[in-house]
Structure 1
């Protein structure tokens, strides 16, 4: 039992520190200042952070043919180099100065590192829980949204939010480089697919994990509010300690499942001893239960396994691709630009916004195409709200809405990929899907940078005011409407799969 659950707990830990891309907004302004970048060049760096996903299919192939612990270490080493050299550059510990294109290449390398860790997490969930595959593959990605919150809590212990933005930026890069490596080394012995004999539904353990995930999300939200009262009641060290405890709580899931099995076994023995059923009937009942489990297993295995080449020729894939592009990817582009958005509106709490956004991304949601469309609708309203309102509350509330919807879509997409195209080629198929993230980052972010530059007053170095991103938000909100329409079409075409 523990052999089956511990790898899943390891994936929760890995995903909790694997959202390093989401931290870009926390140090982007510092890179812009040191490298004297234009807004378009800064956007290209945000694109580079996502461009590593274009090569994510390599990690999918590696996960299918290499030991999972080795795939983990490769991913963490790429992140160590990509983020670590940038940290040394920002802290003047490199003798020769890095050029813009060298920083670009390092950012691509760092962005690719997360694909390797993600691939391991998905493979473990799919192989270890064949009867609860959709729940398992949807669970650990929900913790990716917690990652920026974890990094913010760690940085807050060393540097107060009111301290130098430059010092905070360098610390984010430092922890981006070393924290994934440390966790990967700890999780590597647990990261393996377990050969299980007779598979069972593990409802008790997953219910426990669901409750823990919700509690973790609530704690993350409360501790991210940033008010003076919150900081007095929850000092940074207390917040970090609480987060660590919550991340270790999933270890109780196998214990709960074990207790549930023992209770069921005792109940079965009592029924048997009461003589309500003879031995033959009891055997027949066991056979019926086994038949139900086997029948459900056959339903899962019966999902058509589709390779990458066939998938790319299917209309459902391209509908799915653009639903994600106009939903989850738009949310990630918003997060990448959060530093500049906050600066243009005169809001100094960039790291608080990043933390708030990530806290709301930890909600645990499972569903399919229709639910993805439902998650895009609030994003549309959030973009329009922040476009028409000048108040800080609109920025914070819209950021929270976009954060929770982006996290939900990310979680849903992992489950939807297996439902639509099977699990056998998941590592490659899903990495092809998420290639829309760098595409969206380049297109949406580039156009936002162009509008930002156009809105600057003559002689103004940086654009200031809500006008800087107003047109951008209106366009993004309209694209969300289109994404919702495409989700409805996808739902209509995949009803049979959705009802299996």
Structure 2
């Protein structure tokens, strides 16, 4: 998930698309629309996930990611004839839709594996997606310096490679009981990710103040990889050792919590067509078709479609906004990376906060979504107002 947020890097390389292919702002907005459409259209991956194991969904997403962004890279570097606008829209839709496949394969699997902590799990995983923009920016600087055209090739092969390497490790694991330590482990992973976000924010600010050389970018990227991979891995190894030691000594953990029996009944294969109009009680797992024909899904669909549009517009046009104010490429990259970190903080907070409010105070998540959308409307309208935009400088 930490390398599957390529859609958030559009602001970095959008100017290359615009200048290399001779697009005006209206055409670039059209390309951006298809990027957002692909990144948020998860019905295809959801339907495939209903009838196949997660590795199939991840493999399809990896292939789509490489094909879509590789074709864009060929176009912006002039290695192929200049494509028509509809072709560029198709390429970026395919590349961006791969993110939906990665999300479906990872998120749905983890929610089924940890049904009692789904809010926390979703917050962590979606948080790493938000943080992926800053992570990939550091890795790209270490490999390619400030060559933004090479970024397109980078986001073509890296997510695909990661998905293929871990293809068989993302799977449904059925167990009959959970440890209360699971929640503590989630918080340990959260703390490690917060440390990573803090380091990224500091290094991004330092990079903007001083001119980094390749070796310095390599050093910062190495720290990111260590904090990203080895710290969470160490947390999991510690837990595995703890359980192995207890089982070897014949000790039983007094804090084992039995799972809800209904949870495991939901994991048995269900036909995509059977019981389409007979959804389970609220809070239980729906099939894709049950969700499509439910009123709840319709309401959530309208709310998200109308609510996140302003945020996506702001993120997609960060490059153009910064360029209109005379900022250089390095500053534009800084903008995108910082937004990625704030995106991460919002996603993680929504997952953990919603879980706490729901379990302790019975505060419903849809109501929290309403407040968040309200605050985002106020924030976007304030940040993009002409007086502020014309006078603000970093």
Q: TM-score, normalised by structure 1?
A: 0.64
Match of 1:192 among 162, 168, 171: 171
Structure-2 residue corresponding to 1:83: 69
Provide the C-alpha distance between the structure 2 equivalents of 1:268 and 1:204, rounded to a whole number of angstroms. 23
Report the counterpart of residue 418 of structure 1 in structure 2: none
Residue number in structure 1 paired with 2:368? 371
Q: Given the alignment of the two structures, is residue 242 of structure 1 paired with residue 223 of structure 2, yes or no?
A: yes
* Cross-structure match for 1:253: 235
User: Is 1:350 aligned to residue 362 of structure 2?
Assistant: no
Rounded to whole Å, the distance in 1 between the matches of 2:263 and 2:166 is 32
Deviation track 1:73-125 (CA, whole Å, cap 9, x = no partner) reads 2111111111101111222222x332222111111111211111111111220
Report 1:238-387 matches (<5 A). 238-248=219-229, 249-258=231-240, 293-294=258-259, 303-308=283-288, 311-312=291-292, 314-348=294-328, 349-363=331-345, 364-365=348-349, 366=351, 367=354, 368-379=365-376, 380-387=378-385
Aligned counterpart, 2:105: 120
Selected match of 1:149 from 127, 131, 134 = 134
- Which runs of 5 or more residues in structure 1 are unaligned? 1-14, 162-166, 270-281, 397-500
- The yes-or-no answer on 1:98 pairing with 2:83 is yes
Q: Which of 137, 147, 151 is the matching residue for 2:122?
A: 137
Per-residue deviation, residues 406-427 of structure 1 (Å, max 9, x unmatched): xxxxxxxxxxxxxxxxxxxxxx
Match runs of 1:390-401 below 5 Å: 390-393=390-393
Q: Distance in 2 between matches of 1:326 and 1:231?
A: 41
What is the total number of aligned residue pairs between the two structures? 354
Give the superposed CA RMSD. Answer: 3.1
Residue number in structure 1 paired with 2:270: none
Task: Check 1:266–1:110 CA distance in 2 against 1; reply closer, same or farther (3 A cut).
Answer: closer
Contact 1:206/1:253 (CA < 8 Å) preserved in 2?
Answer: no
CA deviation map 1:307-365 (0-9, x unaligned): 45554565543443343234434222211111111112222221111111112222222
Q: Using the TM superposition, give the Cα deviation of residue 244 of structure 1 relative to its aligned residue in structure 2, in angstroms.
A: 0.5
Q: Equivalents in 2 of 1:193, 1:315: separation in Å?
A: 29
Q: Which of residues 183, 187, 191 in structure 2 aligns to 1:203?
A: 183
Residue-by-residue CA offset, 1:129-168 (whole Å, 9 max, x unaligned): 233233223221110111111221122224444xxxxx31
1:474-489 counterparts in 2 under 5 A?
A: none
Answer whether contact 2:35 2:93 (CA < 8 A) is retained.
yes
Query: CA separation in 1, counterparts of 2:88 and 2:310?
Result: 24
1:204–1:256 CA contact under 8 A, matched in 2: no
Partner of 1:188, secondary structure, is: coil
**Structure 1 residues 381 and 130: alpha-carbon distance in aligned structure 2, compared to 1, 3 A threshold:** closer
Alpha-carbon spacing, 1:264–1:374, altered in 2? closer, same or farther (3 Å): farther
CA distance in 2, matches of 1:311, 1:136: 21
Query: Which one is further off, 71-80 or 247-256?
Result: 247-256
Asked whether the equivalents of residues 311 and 317 of structure 1 are also in contact (C-alpha less than 8 Å), the reply is yes
